[in-house]
Structure formats: C-alpha cells, structure tokens
Amino acid sequence: MALAAAALAAAAPGQDVDWAAAVEKANTHRRYALRLAAAKKIARGEDGAIAAVRAYDREHGSEVIAMPLVDAIARGPARGDEVVALLEHWAFDRDFYWRSHALHGLALRNLPQLRDRYHDGLADPSHLFRVEAARALLRLGAGEREAGLRILQDEDPRARTAGAIALLELDNAAGLPEAVHALGRTDRFLDDPWGERWSRRAAKALVGYANRQGVEGDFGLREDPEQARAALASWARVASGAKIDSATAPEQAIDAAGGLEIRSCRNGDLFCRWSEDGQLLFGLEGGSLLRLDGDTWEELRAGLEGGRGRDGRVICDFLRIQHPDEYDRKVAPGALPAGMHRWLEALADALEAGRNEQEAAALRGRLAQFAPNGER
C-alpha cells in the first residue's frame, strides 16, 4: 500500500462534498484503506453525509453496508436526529450483520427513549448485542445500572469480560472482579486462543482504569506481561477490597480432535468440540459434556473425510467444521452444501436420540441460516 499525500482535506463547513460518491467508495472500493478513509470522512460529515448513507441503504439494501462505515458513524461526532434514526434502523434489524456495532453507536449517544429496547437487547441471542445493550443501560445510569450489571453474569465468558471492560471504561469498579478473573484466561477453542486474547483486553482495560485512578505507568505490561498481570490483580484486589480469583488453566475435559463452530450475529454462536472416541463438549468453556453411542459416532466420524475449502461468500457469520488434516470447511449463510447439511442433521438426530435435546435444539435452530435459501 503506497504512502499517499493527503489529496483531500476534511471538508470545511459549507464546502460541497459529493457524499453519494463517498458513500459508494466507503462500501465498494476493493481496498480496505480507501473504504476506511471514506468512512471516516462521512462520519464527520454529519447530517448531510448521513442522508447520503440512508439513501444508499434504501437503494441497495443494508446487506451491502460495510462494517468500517457503520463503525465510523457509530463512533463519530454526529448527534442529530438523522444519525440516530440511521443507527436505530441498523441496530434493530436482526438480519443486519453489523447491528451490534450500530447499537454501540446508540449506546454512546445516551438515548433514554430507547431504554426498553436496551432491556430487550439483554436477552438477544448475540453476545455482542447483549454487551452493547448493557453498555447503553450502564451509560444511562441511575435506575438502569442494575440491569446493565447483569452482563457480568452472562452465560458467554466473552460477554462477561467485555461487560467488565465496559464498566471499567466508565470508571465503575464493579468491573474489577471479572476483569481480574479474565487476566488468567488461557482457554482455546481448537486453534483459536480466545482466552489469551480476552486476557490481553482485560489487562489493557485494567491499566486504563488504574491510570484514571491516579496510578502511573502500565504495570510493566509490555516488558513482562505475566508479572504485570499479577501486579494488576494485586492492585485491583486492594482497590476493590474484594477477594478476586484469577482464572486458572481450564481442565482438559476431552482431548479435542475436531469441532464445529457457528458464529452468528443473528442467532448467536455455538461451539462444539469432539474427541476421537465420540465425547462432545459444548460451549466455549465446555459447560456441557456428553457422549454419543459408539456406532453412531463411528458413522458420523466416517462422514468427515475429504472436505476442505469454503462455500459461499463469508462476510461475517459462518459455520465451520474442522477435523484437522482431514476436514476443514467454512460456510457462509445460505451456502451449506447438501452433504454437510445432512451430516449436521444427523448429528442433531444423534444428540436427540441420546436425550441431549437442548444441544440438538441449539444446533437445529442455527442451521436454517446456513441452509440454501434459508433465513439470512
């Protein structure tokens, strides 16, 4: 990517800008950097630019709106009725991929008239949406704070940590216990070291919080992360006056040989790992361990051979089955190959036969999005 001289300065007030062209560029340019530059310019353009975005959305549909544009507008300075209407249009469209990003924008704008929708959002299937709904309520403060604090008891560990980070960003010490707990995370889902990633995020948030409480420096986070995390935890325990435990290395409930992950901003995520001998562990933290009948598992296992690649155009949501060295397929909504669909239905049948109705229902409920001509 070439360094470029600034060819265009930010538009001065009153200066005509071709916002329609900027919106087109923000959504369609092949290079991310140029889409991002256009998005940032639009976000500063206030109501004139927002009107162009709404027109583009009406003409082309929300499906083509790029995440950097949504994010730039959400975090941007515009506060008028037009931008609020646009963010609401996106945030409360269950089929819009970036609805959580739009909800973030509404949260930042402190809109008490949306409190009922925020309360509804606390029960959304998407963990990201739940976090942003909680953030919105926490920022409204007063009588809404208690509802927002419920994010700290969320079933999804990512939501709990994100919620704690949101609290610390608001200088609310209620986030300290969960953030300190996250410091010790080393969880993985197959090849994804999600625990360590959230540990780093929690550490950064704790440093920022401590700095705002008058503590200087970063506890040595860059030089010696392990020691820094211990120091942060100690400081937080003193600051909160509470006994806080850091997460310990998760027990290996099974020797995971492969797994299924469904990432869906529409219907919520699903994670399942399996061992070679048919034990299945559902959940990021492995909350549900079960075993399939031997013959059933052998039959399913045999169906996992010889599949690699991608199906459809993955924009955000995807379904992935991996059994390393043998099978690794990533599928976009509406693009689930027939063979994979049959396999997943067979897995759901096997779960039901084993009286694991909850896991079967969770799986079936998410397959429709990925089936051909299924729900978006």
Partner 1 sequence: MKTAILGALLALGMAGKPISGEIDFATLSGFEYEEGMTLPRDVRRLDGDKVTLSGFMEPEFEGEEDVAFFMLIDDACGCEGMPKLNEIVFCAMPDGETTEILSGMVTVEGTLWVGEQVEDGEVVALYTFDVDSVYK
| Residue ranges binding partner 1 (CB under 8 A) | 1, 3-10, 30-34, 36-38, 40-41, 66-68, 71, 97-98, 100-101, 104, 128, 158, 189-194, 197, 200, 204, 208, 218, 221-223, 225, 263, 265, 310, 313-316, 318, 320, 322, 328, 330, 332
Among 339, 340, 300, CA closest to 319: 340
Which CB atom, from 156 or from 359, has the smaller least distance to partner 1? 156
| Choice between 39 and 350, CB closer to partner 1 | 39
Backbone phi and psi for residue 281, each to the nearest 5 degrees, phi listed first: -120, 115
The distance of closest approach from Cβ of residue 315 to partner 1 in the complex, given in angstroms and rounded to an integer, is 4
The DSSP string of 38-53 is HHHHHHHSHHHHHHHH
C-beta closer to partner 1: residue 91 or 350: 91
Contacts 24+ apart (CB under 8 A), 89-95: 89/54, 89/57, 89/62, 90/62, 90/65, 92/117, 93/62, 94/266, 95/62, 95/63, 95/266, 95/375, 95/376
Strand partners, 288: 282
Distance in angstroms (rounded) separating the CA atoms of residues 31 and 29: 6
Number of residues in the chain: 376
**In the complex, least distance from residue 218 CB atom to partner 1, rounded to whole angstroms:** 8
> Please, are residues 234 and 240 in contact by the beta-carbon 8 Å criterion?
no
Which residue lies nearer to partner 1 by CB, 9 or 238? Answer: 9
Contact 372, 332 (CB under 8 A): no
Q: Taking the complex as a whole, how short is the minimal distance between the CB of residue 251 and partner 1, in angstroms? A: 22
Give the shortest CB-31-to-partner 1 separation in angstroms.
6
Q: How far is the CB of 183 from partner 1 (least distance, A)?
A: 13
| Distance linking the first and last C-alpha atoms of the chain | 34
Q: Which is nearer to partner 1, 34 or 371 (CB)?
A: 34
Please state the closest distance from residue 101 (CB atom) to partner 1, in A.
6
Q: Which is nearer to partner 1, 180 or 221 (CB)?
A: 221
Closer residue to partner 1 (CB): 33 or 361: 33
Shortest distance in whole angstroms from residue 28 CB to partner 1: 9
Query: Whole-number minimum distance, CB 340 to partner 1, in Å?
Result: 14
Which amino acid would we find at residue 215? V
Please give the full DSSP string across 127-149, using - where no structure is assigned.
HHHHHHHHHHHHHH-GGGHHHHH
**H or E segment and range at residue 280:** strand 279-282
Q: Which is nearer to partner 1, 326 or 328 (CB)?
A: 328
For partner 1, which is the closer residue by CB, 4 or 142?
Answer: 4
Three-state secondary-structure class, residue 57:
helix
Q: Are 107 and 135 in contact (CB under 8 A)?
A: yes
Task: State both tokens at 245.
Answer: 């435990």
CB of 37 to partner 1, least distance (A): 4
